């Protein structure tokens, strides 16, 4: 059965442009509940580790540089079938291909500066949530 939580990050481009509130409001309107949140400035080590799965990709250096360029906002969100629901709500990686009304269509500039991250599986949602939040912070009422 699909899980009911997932991990998102409002990335430095959107956070720095004061779009975090609008993005979270949009996700709340789409039925997501915020279960955990923080603002942090990732170190190179943290960003490199978080995106280690992409380390062989040509855009890895650019991705780590971007994710450490300013503060970002990781959040754990809850909704039925959370992983798929969030990926639907944020739209395609490339904003030019993102559907109308999605976060990336509204707020992303490019494939690299694309406003928001979302976990791509329940397994990664659990791993990525533990990356940013303690077990205590993930003990939801
Ligand atoms: P995200 O959902 O955070 O997961 C991996 C990230 O890699 C992705 O969003 C993009 O920000 C980034 N990415 C993927 N493809 C490219 C690309 N072609 N050029 C730059 N960044 C990319």
Give the pLDDT of residue 141: 73
Residue 65 within any structural domain of the chain: no
Question: pLDDT category, 32, cuts 50, 70, 90?
Answer: very high
Distance (Å, rounded) from C-alpha 63 to C-alpha 99?
23
Look at residues 133, 59, 120, 46 and name the one whose alpha carbon lies nearest to residue 86: 120
In ligand 1, the atom with minimum distance to the C-alpha of 114 is 11
Does 61 map to a domain?
A: no
| 127 DSSP assignment | H
Nearest CA to ligand 1 atom 22: 112
Q: How far is the CA of 75 from the centre of ligand 1 (A)?
A: 19
Domain membership flag for residue 26: yes
Indicate whether 28 belongs to any domain.
yes
Q: 11 Cβ partners below 8 Å, 6+ apart? A: 66, 67, 72, 113, 114, 115, 116, 117
136 C-alpha to ligand 1 centroid (Å): 30
Q: Residues 74-97: pLDDT tens digits?
A: 999 999 999 999 999 999 999 999
Query: Within 13 A of 108's CA, how many CA atoms are on the CB side?
Result: 26
| Centroid of ligand 1 to alpha carbon of 67 (angstroms) | 11
Residue 92 resides in a domain: yes
Residue 1 has pLDDT above 90, yes or no: no
Please give the C-alpha separations between residue 102 and each of 16, 59, 90, 115, 117, in angstroms, as whole numbers.
19, 24, 5, 11, 13
The answer to whether residue 112 sits within a structural domain is yes
Say yes or no to pLDDT of 60 above 80. yes
Structural domain boundaries enclosing 31: 5-40+72-140
The CATH number covering residue 33 comes to: 3.30.70.141
**Is 55 inside any structural domain?**
no
The domain total for the chain is 1
The predicted structure's pLDDT at residue 64:
98
117 part of the active site: yes
* Residues near ligand 1 (Cβ within 6 A): 54, 59, 62-63, 93, 111-112, 114, 117
């Amino acid at each position: 059965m699909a899980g009911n939580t997932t991990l998102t990050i409002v990335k430095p481009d959107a956070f720095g442009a004061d779009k975090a509130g609008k993005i979270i409001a949009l996700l709340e309107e789409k039925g997501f509940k915020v279960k955990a949140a923080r603002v942090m400035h990732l170190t190179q080590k943290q960003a490199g580790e978080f995106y280690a799965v992409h380390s062989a990709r040509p855009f890895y250096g650019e991705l780590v540089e971007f994710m450490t360029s300013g503060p970002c906002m990781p959040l754990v969100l809850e909704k039925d079938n959370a992983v798929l629901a969030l990926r639907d709500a944020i739209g395609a990686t490339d904003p030019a291909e993102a559907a109308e009304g999605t976060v990336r269509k509204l707020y992303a500039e490019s494939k690299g500066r694309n406003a928001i991250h979302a976990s791509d599986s329940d397994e990664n949602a659990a791993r990525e949530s533990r990356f940013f939040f303690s077990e205590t912070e993930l003990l939801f009422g």
